[in-house]
Structure 1
């Protein structure tokens, strides 16, 4: 998008007249146009944290004047003042926020961001905010959740600065001008893992038997007044599963046996639970097999070692579920529901 960016800059000011380019974050979706900016504005100075400047050199090998800024330092750009706030590990180590003092605008980079295309409408009072809040949660779960403690530190740092913020302009998603604090509150809630009254059911089903059990689980958990989010992992986008797992106290995995092992897409999801550092969950397990049901014992061992709590009964079904199997499933649903209600009460 370098060419489009240059065109947009030229629509406001001749790009050759640029004095500074502020680098809040070096991930290439943010910084990939730097070589073209330098090519078109040979006198521009690159501004960033020490780590950012080092990464500029390693990523792009640019022989360009740089300015390393420290936490709390400012830059006068001619009637306007930029104040820099280091916010490491959101979600790379070099990240910083930039605050435009006179206009009270915070540019927080990837913090408070969202998935979703904006089109020609970029402000929170121009878009479907409920849609974007859902997309922000999906963004948080997939991009930021591993760094939740750093989100909380950054929020606390900005609060302690006592700066007046009228607009929050993340690098992804809407610009918040009507109610800028709302998105901050949501990121704080997600970071603190405030429990929501929801059970996530994730299953794989090669021949339909595991799916039948998942449907019985969903019905019984809903009957206890608890919301469910149900995903067939063979067809679902894993980012939506991670979104629903965020702040959900409990997840129930339905795992068919695959060549004597855990169903591979479920194994991948369990790996992501650890990588993304999603908080300790209440876990239910059920699954199906034809002749050797080793998958559930393997899955339980992995989840317990990760620090999750696996609830009994673990329901292992040979072939299609019997009436007795379904009674065990109903018992599992009741136990999970009771634990979730205790969590959110």
Structure 2
């Protein structure tokens, strides 16, 4: 009840901020320009993005269904994977439908409030995904370095607290984004050179002072990405230290194998995200269409890629999927 009332009040304040801010905009909506410089070929670019969204939907729904229906998978590793799949579904669905509409049917217009809601969902759930990746690194550390105490350290109560902390961090840290944007004045142009509403892309359209917005965005990025990458790095440094002490080569390879899929997911999530973040602030010579394409892949590639990685690398999930297809055959 406490969590529900908190989320309810958070939702009300969010909507009040949006409604109060709508009067500061001289234009009733934003115009998503798509991929500047590639207008003639963006219909073809939409096809692989559509395929990624399809794989994201099918893959993550499959992962959630398998974990939900198989009691033997109700363990920390798979519970965190289910959290990741749920977040990926929301993240991809917050981005892909409008992006595909812009690229395929030239539906460029997006309402002001809808734009801010999309921006909030994208950044909030990206923060949550980063938090879940930290939790999965913690699970790998406990499983490898303290295997005998794994079930007592990561018991259901702790997992629930971790999930709630990840959720609340994403909501609380990112709620000021639309609130601060609502204080800006957009008096010259409302054309966003992107396929979705991104925080810095909106900030750059304002003709009023944006120092607070840019500073808060930088602080959030350092708090979320900086601390999360540091935590993951420390976890894997301790894992590497523990694995190198194992005398048997087979045992070392098995330990590294259990971390391989998670490392792949980490790289796919953080590398394009860091590129997009740095390009907005430092990469003035990066072609804009390259930035837009990579920023879009940053939100669609991990949700499509994660189920494939875990489906191939995780024996229990792979066997369950094969069992379903064999039964249908």
TM-score by length of 2: 0.24
TM-score by length of 1: 0.23
Higher strand share: 1
Higher helix share: 2
